[in-house]
Amino acid sequence: MPPLIQLPVALLVLVAGIYDIRYRRIPNWLVLPAIPVAFALNAFLFAQPEYHSSAWAGLVYAAKGFGLAALIYMPLYILRGMGAGDVKLSVALGALVGWQDWWRILVLSAVLGLLLALLLMALHKRFRKTLSNTAYIIWEMIHLRAPHHRSEELDVSSPKSFRLPHGAVVALGTLALLGLRVFLPSPAG
């Protein structure tokens, strides 16, 4: 991930994470402009002589990251397990960093999110309820039913839902990846 991409990525996820913690949403004014900027930045970078490529290759690179993020996040949004701002943040991030780094961010965010969820479950004494809800979600999905139809607390937009601010978790995963890149640079090839 070139430095020209790292700074906008870090700023995007920091603002989104803080905003999500504070207001429980991720604003359009932040994520929507990031999508065309991501495509433009990658087109510009790939057209540089050191990349031995073209602007078209940069657009394809951004489109793959955007597409993978949409493929993963849109079903979660449709099932009301994810907010629209989370989807827009994810696709903007995918377009900025490409599909491979987006996948790494997803994995790091999942691990960090699980650790935070376990901590919150312990603090709020919600282990049994969370396990029950998880089993219920799996049961409903096996039977091709949206879990939120029979349980309001499984709808991410419901005030009864107990959830992590996903934008903050994605920010942690992204910053962890950027930090790993600083402390564990890839070997010269």
Q: Is residue 189 part of a domain?
A: no
Same domain, 88 and 138: no
Average pLDDT of 162-184? Answer: 88
Half-sphere exposure (CA, 13 Å, Cβ side) for 89? Answer: 31
Query: What's the total number of domains in the chain?
Result: 2
Q: Is the pLDDT of residue 39 over 60?
A: yes
Q: What is the pLDDT of residue 189?
A: 41
Whether residues 135 and 175 fall in one domain? no
Non-local (6+) Cβ contacts of 54 within 8 A are 46, 47
Between 4 and 129, name the one with better pLDDT. Answer: 4
At residue 38, the pLDDT reads 97
Do 65 and 24 lie in one domain? The reply is yes
Q: Lowest-pLDDT range, 37-51, 108-122, 155-169?
A: 155-169
Q: Look at residue 185 in the predicted model and tell me its pLDDT.
A: 65
* pLDDT of residue 172 exceeding 50: yes
Model confidence pLDDT, tens digit, residues 118-143: 898 888 888 887 788 778 777 877 87
- Region 47-65 average pLDDT: 92
Residue found under tokens 């376990």: 118
DSSP calls for 41-80: HHHHHHTSGGGTS-HHHHHHHHHHHHHHHHHHHHHHHHTT
Taking the model in full, what pTM does it have? 0.84
Q: Which pLDDT value is given to residue 52? A: 80
Q: Is residue 91 part of a domain?
A: yes
* pLDDT value, residue 155: 64
Asked if residue 65 and residue 157 are part of one domain, the reply reads: no
- Pick the more confident residue, 146 or 35: 35
In this structure, the answer to whether residues 131 and 78 fall within a common structural domain is no
Same structural domain for residues 139 and 76?
Answer: no
CB 62 within 8 A of CB 95: yes
